[in-house]
Amino acid sequence: MALGQDRMTPKHRPPTRAAWNRSSRKDRLPRDWPSRRAEVFRTKGRICLLAYAGVCTLEATEVDHIEPGDNHEPDNLQPVCSECHAVKSSAEGYHARARKGRARMRKTEKHPGFT
């Protein structure tokens, strides 16, 4: 069990991998993703580089894209724990949905009586 999870109740544990299973993200990863992932752990270690207070287990088990998108270069990848990764990914998804919602809004038209 990861450091800190023993104190978490089931209600407060991070979400399961269900979102990953519904995502097309894994289809956009390069063929050599397993070796890139291993290289990140080898060169940058197994300590979570996000370290969000209150959720971090410190033990990195996943690799995160620092800047969202499909840049899989080593300088855009960092080791993270699954709890911090879930928090960051959730925030990025929230902001992406908010931007998309603002883009869909129509321009306000002047009232015909005021022209």
Q: Tell whether the model's pLDDT for residue 83 goes beyond 70.
A: yes
Structural domain boundaries enclosing 30: 26-103
Residue 77: inside a domain = yes
Q: State the CB neighbour count (10 A cutoff) for residue 32.
A: 11
Q: Which of 1, 106, 5, 92 is nearest to 54 (CA)?
A: 5
Number of domains in the chain: 1
Domain membership of residue 15 (yes or no) is no
For 11-59, the pLDDT digits (tens) are 444 555 556 667 787 889 999 999 999 999 999 999 999 998 888 989 9
Q: Which pLDDT does position 20 carry in this prediction?
A: 60
85 found inside a domain: yes
- Determine the 3-state secondary structure of 64 from DSSP: strand
Whether 55 is in a domain gets the answer: yes
Say if 112 falls within a structural domain. Answer: no
Domain presence at residue 52: yes
Using a cut of 0.75, tell me whether the model's pTM lies above it.
no
Q: Please tell me the predicted confidence (pLDDT) of residue 1.
A: 42
Residue 70 lies in a domain: yes
